[in-house]
Amino acid sequence: MIPRSDIVSRIWHDDRRLLRFVPLVFASSVYRAGITLRNQVYDAGIRHACRMPCPVISVGNIMVGGTGKTPMVIMLARMLKEHGWKPAVLSRGYGGKRKDPAAVVSDGHEILMGPREGGDEPVLIGRSLPGVPVIVARDRFHAGRLAVDRFQADVLILDDGFQHRRLARDMDIVLLDAGRPFGNGFLLPRGGMREPPTALRRADMVVMTSTEEEAGPPPDGIPPIPVFGAWRRPVALVKGPTNEIRPLADLAGKRVCAFSGIAQPDSFRRMLEPLCGGVASFLPFPDHHVYTARDVEDIRQARRDSGARILLTTEKDGIKLTRFPDFFKDLYLLRIAMEIMPSRREFEEQILTRLRK
């Protein structure tokens, strides 16, 4: 049986308008009509976005997953903190199970929730940002009020917030995958687009993300706003439960058994290939996959069969594997950072200028 994630990937990457996809094309048309109506309601002022007492920056996209929002949020929060701001990150907390309207994943000093309650990305963001509160809520307005009232945040960063129209923002940063910015051209469910490219008219900045150092020119359809490139690059290894930071050179000449449950697992594999002596085996899992004991045994068996010396995954996946301590102690996590091209200084100045208004 073909895994559901593989079926979805084949559909979303098939540019041919084949007859067997007619029902999905119709469903995409219905989805488009709903999205258009919702945006028109806000654009016409029939519904009003709620304004916070401090600046709000959204980091989002118009595609489902895989554009590097999490490392961008982490980079942005660090940058603002370095410039004297007190940022807080607001997230929907995909996959988290909680009942409170707003909950604190990190108070800036301690991680207060695991990935099952708060979601894997908010927990990763919290661990990566000492001194920055991370709050999850379906309604980001409630999360924003909590950030301001309890933590005295003076700037809020919306993680994956471009489609969250209820909360007014002072700047919308939209990330596009440089290799396939608009997927196969279809909206959900026939394609991976959440909104059509015309939605970029709401954006204040576009960042073309890539796993390569040099990205191509931006695609047609981007409005006359600042456009930057961003390279998602590996920067270090993190050793399981000890959180020991190891250099990437530790991978040189060594065969690895790698696995990942992210939106584009193949991009993780391609990132590893020049760093090590070979990817001896690679196991892809669906995005936001919740690992089971059976998965852990399958990964161990793959490592044994391949003879790999190192067991490796992403930091995002590692967050969900701490509940398997015997497995986690042998695991290396690849730390990824965002590098802005061609000029980080110009990128920072664009954001700081907007916040000063």
**pLDDT in the model for residue 42:** 95
Which contacts (CB < 8 Å, 24+ apart) does range 269-278 have? 270/211, 271/211, 271/232, 271/234, 271/334, 271/336, 272/234, 272/312, 272/334, 275/234, 275/248, 275/251, 276/251, 276/252, 276/310, 277/251, 277/252, 277/253
**pLDDT in the model for residue 278:** 96
**pLDDT in the model for residue 9:** 60
Cβ-contact 256, 272 below 8 angstroms: yes
pTM beyond 0.85: the answer is: yes
Please state, in angstroms and rounded to a whole number, the distance separating the CA atoms of residues 289 and 295.
10
Residues 6+ apart with CB under 8 A from 152: 86
Q: Which helix (H) or strand (E) holds 266?
A: helix 265-272
**pLDDT in the model for residue 1:** 37
- Judged by DSSP in three states, 166 sits in coil
**pLDDT in the model for residue 150:** 97
Residue ranges in the chain whose pLDDT is less than 50: 1-2, 4, 19
What DSSP letter does each residue of 46-65 carry, written as one string? SS-PBPPSS-EEEEEESBSS
Please state, in angstroms and rounded to a whole number, the distance separating the CA atoms of residues 123 and 73.
13
* 125-166 pLDDT tens trace: 999 999 999 999 988 999 999 999 999 999 999 999 999 999
Cβ-contact 258, 272 below 8 angstroms: yes
Closest-CA residue to 126 (of 165, 94, 85, 91): 91
The pair of three-digit structure tokens given for residue 189, joined into one six-digit string? 């469910």
Domains of the chain: 56-232+339-356 (3.40.50.300), 233-338 (3.40.50)
C-beta neighbour count of 100 within 10 angstroms: 11
